[in-house]
Structures are given as C-alpha cells and as structure tokens.
Structure 1
Amino acid sequence: MAPSFSSAAQGNQPSPQLGADRKRQKYRSMKEIMKVAKRVVLVENEESDDGDYYTRVACDQCGSGERAEELLLCDKCDKGYHMLCLRPIVVRVPIGPWFCPECSDDQDRPLKSFTQKKIIDFFRIQKCRELVENCAWSQDVKKRRRRSNTLVFHKKRRRILPHVPSEDPTRRLVQMGSLASALTAHNMEFSNELTYMPGMAPRLANQAEFENGGMQVLSKEDTETLELCRSMYKRGECPPLIVTFDSCEGYTVEADGPIKDMTFIAEYTGDVDYIKNREQDDCDSMMTLLLATDPSKSLVVCPDKRGNIARFINGINNYTPEGRKKQNVKCVRYCVNGECRVLLVATRDITKGERLYYDYNGYEHEYPTHNFV
C-alpha cells in the first residue's frame, strides 16, 4: 500500500489548533499574574483620621505644627515653614508660588563686590574726581547747616538738615558699592526719582490737591535742602549709610557715621501706580504716596524694579514698646511743587552702626507697608 503523503505533511507541520494554543501562551491570564504578583499593604496613618497630609504638616525649622495660618508650604518639596522661622523672615503670606530656602534659586548672598568704575557707572555719577580726591565737605552743606541751626534756635518748627557725607572718598565708594550690590541682588535699577511707566499711573495723577484733607507743603528752605542733597548724590557725596545682610531681617541699612536729628535720609522712590492695581501685589516694600478723596485715585510707590536706599530701610511697628525704642526715622509725605513726595528724616541722633527703622504705622493706617526684605 502506498504511503500517505498527507499524513507525512501533517507530521512535519504544526496543526492549526496547536498554533493557536502557542499564540495564546504569549499572553498570561490575569489569574496567573496575580498568583505571582507581590502584594502591597497600605499602612494607614493613625495620627490623622482622614489621612490628609496637609493637616499633619509641621515646620521643618522648629518642628511645631501650631499656628497653621503662618505655615508656608513649598511648591516644590511640600515642606512647611513658619513665616517667622524663615531667614530672612517672611512678613506676609506670598500670593504667587513660594519656594523654601533649599528649593529657591535665590543665592544672591554674600553681596557682590563692585569696582570703582562700575559704581560710577551704576549711579551715573557726574563728577568722578570727587570720589577719589581728598577734599573737604561741600561748602554748601556747611552753610546750609549753619542756617538751619539758626532757624531751629529761633523757631519752634525744626527744619530738615542736609546729610553730611563721609570725608573719606574710599569709604563713600564702599557705601555706594553696598547699595549697588543689594539693588543688583533684587534685579533693580538705581533711581532717585519717582518713575511713571506705561500701564501704570501717569504723572498727572500725582497731584497733592487730590489728597483727602489736604497735604502739608514742604517749605522753601526744606525744598532747597532736598535739592541740595539730590545734587550731592549726583556728585557721589552719598549719606553715611551702608547696606548689610542680616539672616533674620534680610537686607538692612546701618549708619556708617553719626547722623544728627532731622537729617534728610532719603526720598522714597520707585514706580508710581494706583493702589487699586496693587491690592494683590506681593511686593513687601510698597509705600503710600497719595490717599485721595476718591479711593480709585490713591497712589502707591512700588520699588520692585527701580529705587534707592530707602528700599532697604526696614519698617517697624511703633505700637509696641520695642518698636518705639528702635524707631529713629520718620516717614512723611509732603507737597513739593504740587506733587506728592515721601521723605525719610531722622527723628533723633543716630550713632554709627545703628540700624535704621521707620514707623510704618505712622500716617498710612489705610495701607500699611512691611519693608522687611
């Protein structure tokens, strides 16, 4: 009997049924997978009934979970910190994203050093030779001080005195270099003027006549003192002040020489904007410029892009005994040539090394500022 070729062919080739079985073997059933899968046991946290992480956050610095309203959560690592436990301290809850010191990219300490040429360029000093030549104080300053002292003796109302720059021009370079470093660390430009930027309040909005209840007018002689101090600054004859960094308060201003009572310290400068536009602003050093009868016309100075040394003079709560003891500068708004201006003036004799603090509860109860940086 002849052999069957069909049977031989079937012996050499897999049957359709066997191929289907092998194909199915490539995919394991869920039942088979669960037999060898490792089991994971969820451990519930006994400290919290609802297991909510944010109800169990404690300050990474002090370890306490109390005062939850003061705890800030890092938007990167989710760690919590009390505002007063941070260095420098945070005086109010940030509006936008916030990052803890470990996650923050702000590594601007220590202060960056500046060469003499860079300082001159940074402040746009007009007469460079006066910074490197040993010369006596400006005769205008001495004359102005003598005349002011005479007026103080004969009149009850005391006059503002011009600042007396440090005699050593090298020391003045150090003082201005510290300010340049602090401004650079905050990505700010130096400006001794109120600036009016597009999209903010125009200069026509800054009119003292809009002030609710009126504004005191700066006298002619005090206006002359203000202009004298501004011209001295342009020549590099800055006030004896230096900006330093403190682990608790951040950048702060110290007297680098004796400063007499009623001495002009600085004018508060920066971008001028409507208060209504800055109600949700996160800048911690805004200053009221105009409190108008119509609240929509009230103005504020915002030194977040441009400013001077006033940006780093810290505000203090003068309602506390400690605040009253520290305060040595007053913040006063004046009408100067029809416009509102904010001046910082010494309220007592200030010794070298003493930090400067002004009372932010003084005239601006409606819009308090907190200038810890």
Structure 2
Amino acid sequence: MARSAPSPASSPGLGRKRTAAPAPSPPTPRRYCSISDVMRRSLPVDAPPPVARAREAIYNSILCDVCGSGEREEELLLCDGCDLGRHIFCLRPIVARVPTGPWLCPDCAPPVKPIKRFPMKQTKIIDFFRIQKDDQDAETAKCRLSQDAKKRRKRSLVMQKKRRRILPFVPTEDKARRLKQMASLATALTSSETDFSNELTYMPGMAPRSSNQARLEEGGMQVLTKEDKETIELCRTMQQRGECPPLLVVFDSREGFTVQADADIKDMTFIAEYTGDVDYLENRANDDCDCIMTLLLTAEPSKRLVICPDKRGNISRFINGINNHTPDGKKRQNVKCVRYDIDGESHVLLVACRDIACGEKLYYDYNGYEHAYPTHHFL
C-alpha cells in the first residue's frame, strides 16, 4: 500500500512560514585616543605581572614584628615560614648581616637545644683538649715566667714603652678554677658543633699550606721578633699541658657566647692565636659564618686567604667585636688583632692592648684592617 503524504497537522514544521532576516545593526563607530593617553595607561615592558605586583605591595607594607617599624628595609629579614619581618638588630642574639640563604624566625625555626654544660671532670677535659702532662716542662715554664718577670722589673719605664714586647699569659694556679675555665670553653665549642684546634688547619679541597706566604701580603707584613716568637712558643707549650689563659666563656642573651677575664690581665699579654680552617676568600663569598678572619691580603684577589673557625677553632672565635662606628664602642676595645709573619707564614695573634680587670669582657676590632664588615649593630 502506498504511504500517504503527511498532513500539516501531523508535521508542524511544514506549516511554519518563512520570515525575512532582521536588518543588520549599524557598526559601532570606532573611538580613537591620542598616543599620550596610550602611553599613560600602558605598563612598562619590564613591569611585573599583577600577582607579583600584589606580592610586592604586601612586602613593602611589612613591619618588624619586634619594634613595629618598617624603616631600614635593607636590614629587615622576612621569615620563609610565616612571612613576618624582623630587623637583624632586633634579633637575640643580634645578627651582624642579612643571611644569604633561607631564614626562619625564632617562632618557625626548630627549637634551640638548651646549652649542655660540659662535665667538669679532669679526664674528659684532658681528652677534649688533648692535654699532654709533663711535670718537668711545667717546672721549666714556671722558672721561665719568673725570670721574665724579673727582667721586666729591671728595665726602666722608658725601655718598656719603647720595646712593647708580647708577654706570656699567667695561668690560674687553682686547678679547680682552671678546670672551670676550660669546661666553659668546651661547653661553647660543643654547643657550636666545633672541634678544638689551637693551630691553623689546612683541609683537602681548601687552600693548601703552600698558599700561606706572608711575603705576598700587599704592602708587606711585620715580622715577629725573636723574643716575641719565644713567648708565643712558651704559651703554646703551656696550653698543651692544660695551662690556659685566665678566661671564662659565658653566654649572653644579646651577644651570644662572650669571653671575660677570670683574673687581671696586663697590657701586651698574649691572649690567643686565631685558628681554624684556612680557605680562599672567594670560596667564602656567600658564607654566612660571622667569625671569618682575614689571614692574607694579596694584590691578586684569587689568592687572598681567610680563617674559618666554623668547624675547628679555639677561644678566639668567641671574643666579640666592637662597634667601630661609635666612640663608645671604640672605648670598649681591650684586645688588638695583629697579623704577623712567623717563619714565612701569616698568623693572626690576639694581644691585650691595655690592662684588663677581672670580670671584664674582651673586645677587639673585628677585621679592622678592611673596615668592610658591618659592625654598626655591635654593642
């Protein structure tokens, strides 16, 4: 049977009428502006993206969480954990300069381990400082010290001022008190994760000993006299026997570990040699260690040497520097830091530059040769 054609009622599409398309709307007239308006509204080519601009605005509004000031932005540290800011001089202990790597505020940093006191046991002290006992050498040293004292008394005052020889330190005779002095140094070294070393060390991968040539010092270096060299050797021998300078290492909440005299110390007395690992200065350009000491300043920058006591060192790394930007800071100085040519090699010696009373803290002009280290926040 043939299929019948669909009716208009059954197919709505067939009943729809065609309509004419709407007339197109007239084009919107184009608006033109001057080139000055374009330049005024556009951003520079090197402008940061919107997210970076928002972050920069937040950083610019950061205030110190301690003092509440936003001034001195170049000395404002930003915590990598909580984004709070703190001035380097508002921290305790004070930070000398802005660290080069990541930094966490005291609230975000791992909890600081409490200072563990080194046991005041003679056997542990002897092992820690590698003390070598020799009673015969001890008697010889005492005779030598008494002879030096007699010679100094015989000299006239004019002669003493003219010569200005280095004097050997006088160890504390009380063994219990001397044990306390050495235990305080051992406490500071172990808390700083530093091994005791009373001499310069040359480690593989750092500067070799052959690089330490005093003759390369730009402008020359003063040679240690024969008498002063004998004094230094005497002091080294005494220290090997456990007869140390009368010094105590104490912790200060603002300055960290500090050194104070545990007896009266005379002017020109030998305090210590600055010791540690010897390395090239260019290798430590981005080092955050705050106790690096200049050892050799050569005309060629690549050959300049520094002492790094972050792994190995002695009491010298805990002697604080003065604020050499203020008269009051300079008045605190009672120790001078001098580089000497000893047997053709450069050594840094710390010597008392005036009489030091018992209980007085020791201060010196840290890296005073270059005047490049930021000490304006030192106390």
TM-score interval (norm. to shorter): 0.7 to 0.9
Deviation at 1:237, TM superposition (A): 0.7
Instruction: Map 1:140-155; keep pairs closer than 5 Å.
Output: 140-148=144-152, 150=154, 153=157, 154=159
Cα distance in 2 for residues equivalent to 1:57 and 1:284: 26
Q: Does 1:73 align with 2:102?
A: no
C-alpha contact 1:316 1:358 (8 A) present in aligned 2:
yes
Distance 1:297 1:78, change over 3 A: same
Deviation at 1:136, TM superposition (A): 12
Q: 1:292 aligns with which of 292, 298, 304?
A: 298
Residue of structure 2 in register with 1:321 after alignment: 327
Per-residue CA deviations over 1:129-180 (Å, capped at 9, x if unaligned) read 89xx9x9982322223433555674251200000011121111111111111
Deviation at 1:306, TM superposition (A): 0.3
Cα distance in 1 for residues equivalent to 2:321 and 2:254: 14
C-alpha contact 1:313 1:356 (8 A) present in aligned 2:
yes
Instruction: Map 1:304-343; keep pairs closer than 5 Å.
Output: 304-343=310-349
How many residues are paired up? 321
Q: Does 1:93 align with 2:98?
A: yes
- SS at the partner of 1:277? helix
Structure 2: give runs of 5+ residues left out of the alignment.
Answer: 1-52
Per-residue CA deviations over 1:259-307 (Å, capped at 9, x if unaligned) read 0000000000000011111111111111110011222111110111000
Per-residue CA deviations over 1:114-137 (Å, capped at 9, x if unaligned) read 23222111101111889xx9x998
Instruction: Map 1:200-279; keep pairs closer than 5 Å.
Output: 200-279=206-285
- SS at the partner of 2:127? helix
Distance 1:175 1:139, change over 3 A: same
- SS at the partner of 1:288? strand
Cα distance in 2 for residues equivalent to 1:309 and 1:239: 10
C-alpha contact 2:323 2:378 (8 A) present in aligned 1:
no
Amino acid at match of 2:182: M
- SS at the partner of 2:183? helix
Which structure has the bigger radius of gyration? 2
Distance 1:291 1:186, change over 3 A: same
Distance 1:55 1:261, change over 3 A: same
Per-residue CA deviations over 1:189-225 (Å, capped at 9, x if unaligned) read 0000100011110000001111111110000110011
Cα distance in 2 for residues equivalent to 1:123 and 1:361: 27
Residue of structure 2 in register with 1:44 after alignment: none
Cα distance in 2 for residues equivalent to 1:64 and 1:213: 45
Superposition CA RMSD, Å: 2.6
Residue of structure 2 in register with 1:170 after alignment: 176
Q: Does 1:139 align with 2:143?
A: yes
Normalised by the length of structure 1, the TM-score is 0.80
Deviation at 1:113, TM superposition (A): 2.8
Structure 1: give runs of 5+ residues left out of the alignment.
Answer: 1-48
Residue of structure 2 in register with 1:358 after alignment: 364
Deviation at 1:100, TM superposition (A): 1.4
C-alpha contact 2:294 2:305 (8 A) present in aligned 1:
yes
Cα distance in 2 for residues equivalent to 1:235 and 1:369: 38
C-alpha contact 1:253 1:313 (8 A) present in aligned 2:
yes
Distance 1:369 1:262, change over 3 A: farther
